[in-house]
Amino acid sequence: MCGIAGILGVRREIAEPALAAMLAAIPHRGPDGHAMAFFSPEGNGSSATRTTAAGLAHARLAIIEPTPSGLQPMVDDSGAIITFNGEIYNYRQLQRELEAAGRPCKTKTDTEVILKGYVTKGIEAALGLRGMFAFALLDPKKRLAWLCRDRLGIKPLYLYYPKGGGLLFASEVRQLLAAGEELVPRRVSPAAIESFLAQGMVCGFDALIDGVTLLGPGESLVVDWEGRPQKQVKYWQLPFGDGMHCTRERAVSDLTTTLREAVDCHMISDVPLGVFLSSGVDSNAVAAVASGVSRDPVHTIAIGFDQPRFDESAEAEESAHLLGTTHTTQSLHVGEMLGDIERVFAAMDQPTVDGFNTYFVSRAARNAGLTVALSGVGGDELFGGYASFRDVPRARLLRKVTDRLRMNRALALAGRVASSRRGGVKLEELAHRPADLLALYMLRRELVLPAERRALMDLPQEADPSSGLEQSVLRALRDGMPSDPRNAISSFELRSYMRDMLLRDADVFSMANSLELRVPLLDHRMVEIACSLPGRWKRPDPRPKPLLIDAVGPRLPERVPHRKKRGFTFPWEAWIRGALKEKARASIHAEDVWKRLGVNAGAASKLWDRFEAQDPRCGAPQMLALWVMSDFAARHGLYA
């Protein structure tokens, strides 16, 4: 796991200091070394090169073969050069295949198998990679560069095409900003602000910074030496169907085998590795399988929290005892966390309201001596663990009913059904949304509702008035949407909340602590099986996620499925009304920041006043979103 960057098609006198600044922006990703180099295409002569040199940079967190032989950029005998972020879990198998094909590897690294795979198969080599990865590979002979990203989008690769020509790419948005205003202006995208306010994350593949985009999951991009796109290929996509034609018993057997393989290969490491363990099914599933396949005791780590409502450490310790793991509980104290909130804001690469927990968990793991940690991310999305799998179909049914009721009866029903004041607000909003799964799914996760967003800024032309997402993002979510409602919601969760928030936050906030976070439940072979199964098999029976539980088998501690589902969340309501009130208030009232963003500064202050007056449409999550956006814009000098 590392950080990468590169520049193509930009004059060397501009590109060299820009690339150096991009590399200097990510010391947290490269505590074990960093390097940059410029390369010329063959046939240009040694003189060249003010306009044709391509720059690559690499910041190293050494995991596999932590010796000088793993340093990057890495050059192959063929002349191909790579800078690579991630892990290839089947690299040993690929090494054997390459040796049999007469292309033996000189190092024991997973990086080299990508280089030699390309020399052997071209960009088709991506099909054989099992892992999480983002890389850029230069081919000086063909005067081309190949950029590629893993199937699920676990590792990021941001792109920017400067107005003067060329291409910049990087692991983080802040690296692109570090290249300088001449190359990457700090101008924000109004559509990205809208989607962040609506969903608490910047949705889709366009970043907050105007013109910055993400290479899509499962995509290869070939560009020429000047950075001009030549070929873009989608080599993998989520394989949802209308249901696998096999028995449930066979499906569980396939999942069991693949889960063991996935966890086993995700445990390959030459540095200390552990498993995040909480009270939930997903982390216990990973820990149970890991302890079953490992020859040595598995190290598990749990987080203790000094507020009992949020503390899962006792249940985690019970599981660790039953699984026989070497267990560590790292205690988090409210005072310490409150004092370090600014560090989390500084670590943020794009605005988010959800990554704070990942930051503190990752720091605790690093403090416990780990460099790699396995997480249970993906289990809820694949196996129906979220409340959205229950609530969205119910909301669609209720919406169909309200079509036949007068509005006052619908609102009365909403008041009776709602379990909270905020829930009542969402149910009132339901009357204004179509009886459509995607529209209601987005409402389920919506943060700042349309009326409050319109008070802040005009609706961007390309955005949907209700959800706040760009029409292109909504169309992409509908493309290939399964007919099975539960699988449709799984598709939305995987391609929205997980991809645009959980995985981005996991990458940024784990790497902010120089920790590699791995997600074995998102092994692409696991995903392929889970996506092919009928939605009805993913319903509680009444156990949550019964397919996953049955796939793990008897090693899963017996009490785990019966524990109440709890996420590791923070008491933002108490904090923003208490210890963090003045910091949040000052940031939300920063009128000059909002004006530079093209946002109605007075409206932001009025929303804060409504929060203090206990308006349920303006609760702590909405104030956190405003605080995050204001702080991020001020920190990075952004403007509209």
Residues in the chain where the model's pLDDT stays below 50: 45-50, 406-408, 415-419
Let me know if residue 198 belongs to a domain: no
Q: What is the predicted pLDDT for the residue at 403?
A: 61
In a shared domain, residues 450 and 476: yes
Q: In what order do the strands lie in the sheet with 144-149?
A: 74-75, 81-88, 131-139, 144-149, 219-224, 229-234
Q: Which of these, 526, 530, 482, 476, lies nearest to 214 by C-alpha position?
A: 476
Structure tokens at 92: 């040993």
- CATH number of the domain that residue 356 is part of: 3.40.50.620
629 and 599 share one domain: yes
Considering the domain architecture, whether residues 503 and 606 belong to the same structural domain is answered as no
Residue 230: what pLDDT? 98
Residue where a domain terminates, one of 557, 580, 609:
557
What pLDDT score does 405 carry?
Answer: 55
Structural domain boundaries enclosing 599: 572-636
607 contact partners, CB below 8 Å, separation of at least 6: 452, 455, 456, 588, 618, 622, 623, 626
Is 362 strand, coil or helix? helix
Sorted by sequence, the CB contacts under 8 Å of residue 147 that are 6+ apart come out as: 135, 136, 137, 157, 159, 169, 215, 220, 221, 222, 223
* Residue 231, both tokens: 């070929």
222, 160: one domain: yes
Identify whether 191 is part of a domain.
Answer: no
Q: Are residues 33 and 71 in the same domain?
A: yes
On whether both 399 and 505 belong to a single domain, the answer is no
Q: What is the pLDDT of residue 424?
A: 74
Q: Is residue 563 part of a domain?
A: no
Residues 351 and 305 in one domain: yes
241 in a structural domain: no
The candidate with the shortest Cα–Cα distance to 469, out of 240, 218, 200, is: 200
CA distance 40 to 27: 27
**Closest residue by Cα to residue 501 from 155, 201, 193:** 201
- The angle that helices 581-588 and 601-612 make with each other, rounded to 10 degrees, is 150
Shared-domain flag, residues 348 and 309: yes
Residue 243 domain-assigned? no
Nearest residue to 84 (alpha-carbon basis) of 51, 130, 115, 117: 115
Residues 6+ apart with CB under 8 A from 390: none
Claim to verify: residue 621 and residue 541 sit in the same structural domain: no
Torsion of CA 254, 255, 260, 266, to 10 degrees: 120
Rounded distance between C-alpha atoms, residue 285 and residue 493, angstroms: 20
Q: Does residue 70 belong to any structural domain of this protein?
A: yes
190, 581, 616, 629 from 607: Cα distances, Å: 19, 14, 11, 14
CB 262 within 8 A of CB 87: no
- If asked whether residues 180 and 76 sit together in one domain, one would say yes
175-178: long-range contacts, CB 8 A cutoff, minimum separation 24? 175/3, 175/5, 175/22, 175/23, 175/25, 175/26, 176/22, 176/209, 176/212, 177/25, 177/209, 177/636, 178/18, 178/21, 178/22, 178/24, 178/25
Cα separation, 49 vs 11, in Å, equals: 8
Which CATH number does the domain housing residue 212 bear? 3.60.20.10
Domain stop point among 499, 525, 557:
557
Per-residue pLDDT, 420 = 52
326 and 341 part of one domain: yes
Strand pairing class (213-214; 229-234): unpaired
- Can you tell me whether residue 424 is helix, strand or coil? helix
Instruction: Judge whether 628 and 353 are in contact, CB under 8 Å.
Output: yes
How many domains does the structure of the chain reveal?
4
CA of 621: how far to CAs of 181, 261, 271, 502, in Å?
33, 39, 38, 17
Tokens for 461? Answer: 């032309």
Classify residue 242: in a domain, yes or no: no
Tens digit of pLDDT for each residue in 244-267?
678 999 999 999 999 999 999 999
Q: Which helix (H) or strand (E) holds 427?
A: helix 421-430
Count of CB atoms within 10 A of residue 428's CB? 17
- 525 and 582 inside one domain: no
The pLDDT of residue 306 = 81
Q: According to the model, what pLDDT value does residue 404 have?
A: 54
Q: Give domain status of residue 190, yes or no.
A: no
In the chain the first and final C-alpha atoms are separated, in Å, by 34
| % of the chain exceeding 90 in pLDDT | 85
Please give the model's pTM, rounded to 2 decimal places.
0.95
pLDDT in tens, 127-180: 999 999 999 999 999 999 999 999 999 999 999 999 999 999 999 999 999 999
Q: At which of 457, 481, 505 does a domain end? A: 481
